[in-house]
Amino acid sequence: MTITTNTGNITPQYSLALIVFLVLFSVLHVLSWPQNPPTVDPINFHAALDYYDIATDRPHPPGYPLYVGLARLASQFTGDAGAYQAINLLMMLGSAICLFLLMQGIGKPEVGLAAALLLLTHPLSLAATVIAETYYSDAFFGALIAAWIILNARRTTLQFIGLAVIFLALGLFRAVSCAELMLLALACIFVSHEKTGRIRALMRATAIIVVATGLAYAFTIYLAGGYVAYSEAVARVMGAAFAEKSFIAGAPIRDHLFMVFRFFVWLAVMALPTWLVLALVLRRWKQGKLEMSPVAINAIVVATCWLLPPVGLYVFFYFLKPTYLLVLMPALLTMLAWMLFALFSNRKTLAWLAVILLTIVQLSLFYGMNKSWPYPLYRISHTFLQAQDASWSDLKASSSRINDAKSLLVWVNNPLDFDSVRLLEWQGQAVYFNRDVWKFKGVDTHTMVWDNDLDKSVISGGEFSRLLVIDQKDGTTTYELIELAPDQSLDLHTLVTQLE
């Protein structure tokens, strides 16, 4: 049985509620943008606004050319500080509209509206979009793929043209995302076509996705400076990370199992309401109190194909941080909304109370978590972003006092990543202290390429007139200015020992 849609089933009360929510949410989102990039990846994305070069992580591989290009366009209106956030906000609004239209098309507008509320206010969604990060693109394109294919079930030519454009755009964000969402697209093709034409439609869709992904991948390689340059950059960043985590790349099985454990812990925590409601629904279904409609069965097929490829990728290959889960969240939260309205089919008010309560809790978590929470959770809070912004203000104010060619920045410890110096327009030299090997390492602050010629241990006043030493003591960042006489020398290891 195919999923049929009724695009004429207009529900003005739900549409109006969605519009009001999106307007209010947009205001809240813009007010939540930090002024500075808080961590390494956002720093690299901001650096790419001036010069695109994945060889020097502007941005890091695989390059995300469409994301950077759109941000450059947005920066003409928002300035550099809000360029990526503006694109993220548009993707959030787009995903909400897609989920609503998709659910409205199959006669469940209340599910679409509830899913939009839950997805946009989720702490992971907010944490990944109020800064320059691209992870939400997987959530947006997943919702777009499902909505486009299902809603255009009767317009097959338009359906396939849109499929090609969507996967080309998705590949220009990140080609591996095409592999993650390909099965979702095929599942939507399967349930939106009649039995007699399914095989042909699936073959056609597969060919379109492969070609579109290949074109996007080829263009990304071209922008990176060719296959050799691209491969070197990918091996340096993603290959090294893969080798550290996955037993497939040679990592110890213990490290791989710990990675898998972290993935399932994050998945359990971030989608806890879905799992709890799912357990209740299964219990009611086994008791014969709930029935599974043909539309629900097709929806389960689509949701399963949405979830399995990313889960397989994270279990067998690589998982790093919780924002990777965003590719799963539209499916999981739509399932949650659907199940709530199924449980309270005769009392929708209770379902809406549950949705509104969850929305309030999610917003409270993002804006309320602080340093007293476990650090991994604190890092996805607005409080963390505010703290990083404050550190940026101190860094900029301190570095501006001595920023000249004869100044040396000595980075011992700071809440910010050392890559922050690439955005300071530092005119002197900089060294980073690696405690693991008790050694200072010099770096070109424009390219962030480590340079052996800049290695420092003992420095002389003839080369540097002033030092800015950045360190932390008892959780407080210190910025110490040291003046050097022309005939004076200083051993940096002795300096660090004194700081300890």
One digit per residue, the tens of pLDDT, for the chain of length 500 reads: 455 565 445 578 999 999 999 999 999 999 999 999 999 999 999 999 999 999 888 998 899 999 999 999 999 999 999 999 999 999 999 999 999 999 999 999 999 999 999 999 999 999 999 999 999 999 999 999 999 999 999 899 999 999 999 999 999 999 999 999 999 999 999 999 888 889 999 999 999 999 999 999 999 999 999 999 999 888 888 888 888 888 888 889 999 999 999 999 999 999 999 999 999 998 888 887 777 788 888 999 999 999 999 999 999 999 989 999 999 999 999 999 999 999 998 889 999 999 999 999 999 999 999 999 999 999 999 999 999 999 999 999 888 888 888 888 888 888 999 888 888 888 888 888 877 667 778 887 777 777 655 556 778 777 888 888 898 877 788 888 888 888 888 877 777 777 66
Residue 396 burial by CB count (10 A; 0-12/13-18/19+): exposed, middle or buried?
A: middle
Domain contains 177: yes
Same domain, 361 and 395: no
Domain contains 375: no
For residues 148-167, one letter each, b for 16 or more C-beta atoms within 10 angstroms of the residue's C-beta and e for the rest, the string is bbbbbbeeeeebbebbbebb
Same domain, 470 and 345: no
Domain contains 69: yes
Cα distance between residue 170 and residue 164, in whole Å? 10
Same domain, 236 and 342: yes
Domain contains 6: no
Distance of CA 433 to the CA centre of its chain: 29
Same domain, 364 and 398: no
Domain contains 2: no
Same domain, 186 and 63: yes
Which residue, of 319, 344, 368, is where some domain finishes?
368
Q: Within a 13 Å sphere around the CA of 369, how many CA atoms are in the beta-carbon half? A: 20
Residue 268 has a pLDDT of 96
What is the pTM assigned to this prediction?
0.92
Same domain, 388 and 359: no
Six-digit token string for 315: 């279990």
Same domain, 44 and 110: yes
The number of domains in the chain is 2
Residue 168 has a pLDDT of 98
Which residue, of 368, 394, 425, is where some domain finishes?
368
Residue 1 has a pLDDT of 47
Residue 333 has a pLDDT of 98
Cβ proximity of 442 and 429 under 8 Å? yes
Which residue, of 311, 335, 368, is where some domain finishes?
368
Q: Find the domain containing 149 and state its range.
A: 12-368
Q: What are phi and psi of 438, to 5 degrees?
A: 50, 55
Residue 265 has a pLDDT of 96
Q: What are phi and psi of 476, to 5 degrees?
A: -110, 130
Q: Note the helical H segments in 79-155.
A: 83-105, 109-120, 123-129, 136-151
Residue labelled with tokens 């005939």: 487
Residue 435 burial by CB count (10 A; 0-12/13-18/19+): exposed, middle or buried?
A: exposed
Same domain, 347 and 446: no
Domain contains 97: yes
Cα distance between residue 492 and residue 28, in whole Å? 46
Same domain, 258 and 398: no
Same domain, 356 and 461: no
Same domain, 294 and 402: no
Cβ proximity of 89 and 83 under 8 Å? no
Same domain, 289 and 141: yes
